[in-house]
């Protein structure tokens, strides 16, 4: 059994570009991430920062072309997943590494009952009989809070609410007992009450099954509720990474501070939320130097020309910023 402090999956210097004719867009520019058993690692950033591209690379689902991995390794139990053929990767996908997607309606097959979609995974990856698979499917649906009575088992996706569909997707994802789960914006389409229920479910399953989890979100407030460790991504680079406690207690990167300032707070009712001016640059138009400098309140001439390196600013807390830890009035 893998020790809790031993890396489960490691992303090293991952670079990805997309080509469209003569145009080349660098979506990831040297990503480094480490994941551990029984830990939820939150990856947070605005849309277009590179979160989903990172997850598709781990799953071996990067569309190629136009996507191309230009550098790096993804190490899982000593194996570089990027060196595997698609046939070899199918032995990992679903069986050892699984994914919960943002919009379950796009990924649940409308022509098949929920039970059939779970049993298909069990028969394919675990060679179960139909009877064994159906019994296990019923247990899985109960585990994710969809009951023991079999009603959902024999329901089609269109007969379920949004929250129930997401729970069914989670049941499918964990059906083969994966050791690593990717949850890509799993609560975005849900109301606040359902969001909290899904976050609690993911934490419960992490503890129960001992999985490592990559939890992707654009919402730092949601990540705060669920993650043990947090990495902040901007324009294809990790700009800050630490334990949740350290990051929320003492954010070092201006981007992280501005994301935190934009989290709704009931104690500040009536006050305007802080906003980040501008937007994430397009991957084919990333500015020189620090990519955040056009939006950064602390940017100087050095920031415009010199790309900061992600480095440890204090024990267990890394940031890529020439002005890490400096403050200003938001």
Does any domain span residue 243?
A: yes
Cα(9)–Cα(270) distance, rounded to whole angstroms?
44
Nearest to 70 by CA among 114, 31, 40: 31
Does any domain span residue 18?
A: yes
Q: Is the pLDDT of residue 5 over 70?
A: no
Q: Note whether 207 and 297 are same-domain residues.
A: yes
Beta strands 97-100 and 311-314: pairing type?
Answer: unpaired
Q: Note whether 89 and 114 are same-domain residues.
A: no
Q: Note whether 234 and 92 are same-domain residues.
A: yes
Q: What is the mean pLDDT of residues 70-83?
A: 95
Which band of pLDDT confidence, cut at 50, 70 and 90, is reported for residue 68? very high
Q: Note whether 214 and 224 are same-domain residues.
A: yes
Q: Note whether 24 and 86 are same-domain residues.
A: yes
Q: What is the mean pLDDT of residues 257-279?
A: 79
Nearest to 177 by CA among 143, 223, 226: 143
Pick the last residue of a domain from 149, 177, 205. Answer: 177
Q: Is the pLDDT of residue 243 over 70?
A: yes
Pick the last residue of a domain from 177, 195, 213. Answer: 177
Q: Note whether 158 and 25 are same-domain residues.
A: no
Does any domain span residue 286?
A: yes
Q: Note whether 24 and 137 are same-domain residues.
A: no
* pLDDT top residue among 266 and 111: 111
Q: What is the mean pLDDT of residues 65-73?
A: 94
Does any domain span residue 330?
A: no
Q: Is the pLDDT of residue 4 over 60?
A: no
Which band of pLDDT confidence, cut at 50, 70 and 90, is reported for residue 23? confident
Nearest to 51 by CA among 204, 222, 203: 222
Tens digits of residue pLDDT in 285-305: 999 999 999 999 999 999 999
Q: Is the pLDDT of residue 327 over 90?
A: no
User: How many domains does the chain fold into?
Assistant: 2
Does any domain span residue 121?
A: yes
Looking at residue 2, its pLDDT comes to 47
Which band of pLDDT confidence, cut at 50, 70 and 90, is reported for residue 275? confident
Pick the last residue of a domain from 177, 192, 213. Answer: 177
Instruction: Using CB atoms within 10 Å of the CB of residue 2, give its burial: 0 to 12 exposed, 13 to 18 middle, 19+ buried.
Output: middle
CATH number, residue 199: 3.40.50.300
* pLDDT top residue among 221 and 265: 221
Does any domain span residue 119?
A: yes
Does any domain span residue 1?
A: no
Q: Domain range spanning residue 173?
A: 110-177
Q: What is the average pLDDT value for the chain, to the nearest integer?
A: 92
Q: Note whether 208 and 69 are same-domain residues.
A: yes
Q: Note whether 172 and 189 are same-domain residues.
A: no
Helix (H, G, I), strand (E, B) or coil at 313: strand
Q: Note whether 164 and 207 are same-domain residues.
A: no
Q: Note whether 65 and 164 are same-domain residues.
A: no
Does any domain span residue 259?
A: yes
Count other Cβ atoms within 10 Å, centred on residue 4.
Answer: 12
Q: Note whether 169 and 296 are same-domain residues.
A: no
β-bridge mates for residue 35, sequence order: 9
Q: Is the pLDDT of residue 121 over 50?
A: yes
């Amino acid at each position: 059994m893998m020790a809790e402090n031993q890396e489960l999956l490691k992303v090293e210097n991952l670079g990805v570009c997309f080509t469209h004719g003569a145009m080349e867009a660098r979506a990831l520019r040297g990503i480094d991430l480490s994941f551990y058993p029984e830990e939820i690692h939150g990856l947070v950033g605005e849309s277009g920062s590179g979160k989903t591209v990172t997850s598709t690379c781990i799953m071996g689902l990067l569309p190629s072309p136009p996507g191309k991995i230009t550098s790096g390794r993804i190490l899982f139990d000593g194996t570089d997943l990027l060196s595997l053929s698609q046939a070899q990767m199918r032995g990992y996908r679903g069986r050892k590494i699984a994914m919960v997607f943002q919009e379950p309606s796009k990924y649940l097959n409308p022509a098949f009952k929920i039970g059939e979609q779970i049993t298909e995974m069990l028969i394919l990856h675990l060679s179960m009989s139909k009877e064994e698979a159906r019994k296990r499917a019923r247990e899985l649906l109960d585990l994710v809070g969809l009951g023991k009575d079999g009603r959902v088992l024999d329901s089609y996706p269109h007969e379920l609410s949004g929250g129930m569909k997401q729970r069914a997707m989670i049941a499918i994802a964990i059906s083969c007992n994966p050791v690593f789960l990717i949850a890509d914006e799993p609560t975005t389409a849900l109301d606040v009450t359902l969001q909290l229920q899904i976050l609690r479910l993911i934490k419960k399953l992490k503890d129960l099954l001992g999985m490592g989890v990559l939890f992707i979100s654009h919402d730092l407030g949601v990540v705060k509720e669920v993650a043990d460790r947090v990495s902040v991504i901007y324009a294809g680079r990790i700009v800050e990474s630490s334990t949740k406690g350290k990051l929320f207690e003492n954010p070092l990167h201006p981007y992280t501070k501005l994301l935190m300032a934009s989290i709704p707070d009931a104690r500040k009712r009536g006050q305007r939320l802080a906003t980040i001016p501008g937007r994430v640059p397009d991957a084919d138009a990333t500015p020189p130097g620090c990519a955040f400098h056009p939006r950064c309140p602390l940017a100087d001439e050095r920031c415009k020309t010199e790309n900061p390196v992600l480095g440890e600013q204090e024990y267990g807390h890394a940031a890529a910023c020439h002005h890490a830890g400096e403050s200003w009035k938001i």
